[in-house]
Amino acid sequence: MFAVALFCIACAAYWAWRQKNRKVTEPPFFPGGWPIVGHAPALIGDSCKLWDAVNDLARQSYDIGGVVSAAIGPRTVYIVTDPDDSFTIANSCLEKDGFYDFAKPWLGEGLVTGKYSIWKNHRKLLNPAFSQILLDTFMGVFNSQSRKLVKDMEKEIGKGLFDHWTYTRHNALETICLTALGVDFTDSNLNSKYVEAAELIFNTIVERFTKFWWHSPYTFAWSNVKKKQDACLEILHNMSNTASWVHVLQKRKSEFNGNICAARSIIPGSKFKPFMDLLLDLSVEKGVFNDREIREHVDTMIVGGHDTSANVLMFTMILLGSHPEAQEKAFAEVREVLGDGDRDVEKADLSKLVYLEAVLKESMRVFTIVPVLARKLDKDVKLKNYTLSAGRTCFLFVFGLHKHPMWGPDVNEFKPERWIEPGKLPDNPNAFAAFSVGRRQCIGKAYALMSMKTTLAHVVRHYKIKADHTKVRLKLDVMLKPDAGHCISIERR
């Protein structure tokens, strides 16, 4: 008992000393922190409560100047909602924060979670797999997958509310496999298992985050969350041993070995190869990636490439279903560009689907599916009004940028027109960061926009959607997701 009391007194003294010795140039602390635990109690709870808490933090941060300090247990962290300061940090500190290590048992040193020293070489090597010339060759798959989604959803016509998210997730998983990996992953059982395991593992990552005493790997090792996480990893790894990535990898590698021409030469004579072929090429020919690295990159690409687009499409359908005028405008544009028939969306059509792009961007602003990014400050960073100290964690609240008062009094409304009508967007080019900003921004941005636009064009052309976005209950599960109230209904056009 005495030891516990002594420990608490020592922590409280350390807290008081830390508060007193803060540099004057550091941003102010949020009000309401406690000795020892800081602001951590606000984070404790489920992922819905976490979303409410970070929203509160964002709202308060605007009043304090867009940059504030907070304490999670013994750690001081910064929270940034100012667009210019976010840009400065995203560009000057490319190291991901230690919180990303929570996902490393799964994604290792893949691009999202990888250490800067590894990332900088790997990103350079993998960039060509996302060149425009290569993405253009995916239009056939984007169209056939969109048609498949429309067909799959057909059974829900006229039946009232249904969970369209299941459809977008399964479809997007197949699409990323068919395009980037050159693998057919339409086995619905395996597909479902993967989607479930990925969802569960995200839960465990967030649960660990909200309980600061499990941040250390030593305490975490004893937690029940670690047991849950291991169970998810076992499912993901078991799949690897049966029909999924490692199996696929080995099969592709054996096809590939000694026969470099086996790489899909989608563009004859071109150096651009799809993602998996590029990985294998670099591994077999140049000895760059080992099997573990290939798997980590593949796992990263699958999760980065399907959960994101699937969630944006899910939210976009809800928003269109809640805003009939916007939906009719989108439909009118699709008919104008594609005509009355049912032809494929072609590459040249994409730039003409201006309203559809505005719908997608506005949807990503209103529901920012990657709402928070975290960087490790590897040096002091000078911002407009403050200097952040090296060694600390900096949370970039992307959703906070998207809900910043600079968007105007209608900031909380869904208004695709703001992306089209002159003078309606904020002057600041850093106000929108759905794909992150700077050198470590999303590698799949162009891929995502092309595939989502194609899908939306097909869906809008076939269905009239009804939904109520005010009923959606949100949660922060690494990504922004609906907890309830997200279902839609559809009628044939």
The token pair that represents 263 in the structure block: 């790489």
Q: Is 300 in the site for ligand HEM (CB under 6 A)?
A: yes
The token pair that represents 40 in the structure block: 């951590």
Which CB, 375 or 489, lies closer to ligand HEM? 375
Which CB, 38 or 305, lies closer to ligand HEM? 305
Number of residues counted as binding ligand HEM (CB under 6 A): 25
Which CB, 32 or 429, lies closer to ligand HEM? 429
Name the nearest CA neighbour of 369 among 160, 168, 143, 109: 168
Contact stretch for ligand HEM (CB under 6 A) within 215-223, 284-292, 306-314, 418-426: 306-314
* Distance of closest approach, residue 307 Cβ to ligand HEM, in angstroms: 9
Contact stretch for ligand HEM (CB under 6 A) within 56-64, 231-239, 404-412, 437-445: 437-445
* Distance of closest approach, residue 123 Cβ to ligand HEM, in angstroms: 5
- The single residue among 103, 150, 153, 301 that binds ligand HEM, judged by CB under 6 A, is 301
* Distance of closest approach, residue 421 Cβ to ligand HEM, in angstroms: 23
Task: Give the position of tokens 């308060």.
Answer: 60
Q: Give residues 331-370 in contact with ligand HEM (rule: CB under 6 A).
A: 364, 369-370
Q: Is 444 in the site for ligand HEM (CB under 6 A)?
A: yes
Which CB, 215 or 453, lies closer to ligand HEM? 453
Angstrom distance (rounded) from CA 199 to CA 133:
33
Q: Is 443 in the site for ligand HEM (CB under 6 A)?
A: yes
Which CB, 180 or 345, lies closer to ligand HEM? 180
- The single residue among 312, 377, 394, 450 that binds ligand HEM, judged by CB under 6 A, is 312
* Distance of closest approach, residue 121 Cβ to ligand HEM, in angstroms: 11
Q: Is 448 in the site for ligand HEM (CB under 6 A)?
A: yes
Which CB, 87 or 447, lies closer to ligand HEM? 447
Q: Is 436 in the site for ligand HEM (CB under 6 A)?
A: yes
Q: Is 442 annotated as a binding residue?
A: yes
Using CA of residue 458, residue 487, residue 403, residue 103, what is the dihedral sign?
Answer: negative
* Distance of closest approach, residue 447 Cβ to ligand HEM, in angstroms: 5
Q: Give residues 59-118 in contact with ligand HEM (rule: CB under 6 A).
A: 111-112
- The single residue among 15, 419, 447, 463 that binds ligand HEM, judged by CB under 6 A, is 447
Q: Is 181 in the site for ligand HEM (CB under 6 A)?
A: no
Q: Give residues 9-48 in contact with ligand HEM (rule: CB under 6 A).
A: none
Which CB, 75 or 123, lies closer to ligand HEM? 123
Provide CB contacts within 8 A for 361, sequence distance 6+: 416, 419, 432, 434
Measured N-to-C along each axis, helices 291-322 and 324-338 cross at an angle, to the nearest 10 degrees, of 110
* Distance of closest approach, residue 481 Cβ to ligand HEM, in angstroms: 13
The token pair that represents 159 in the structure block: 């039946």
- The single residue among 75, 123, 228, 352 that binds ligand HEM, judged by CB under 6 A, is 123
Q: Is 148 in the site for ligand HEM (CB under 6 A)?
A: no
Which CB, 178 or 448, lies closer to ligand HEM? 448
Which CB, 33 or 371, lies closer to ligand HEM? 371
* Distance of closest approach, residue 113 Cβ to ligand HEM, in angstroms: 8
Residue with the closest Cβ to ligand HEM? 444
The token pair that represents 381 in the structure block: 């960073």
* Distance of closest approach, residue 339 Cβ to ligand HEM, in angstroms: 27
Q: Is 435 in the site for ligand HEM (CB under 6 A)?
A: yes
Residues found near ligand HEM in the complex (CB under 6 A): 111-112, 123, 176, 180, 300-301, 304-305, 308-309, 312, 364, 369-370, 373, 434-436, 440, 442-444, 447-448
Q: Which residues are annotated as a binding site for heme?
A: 442
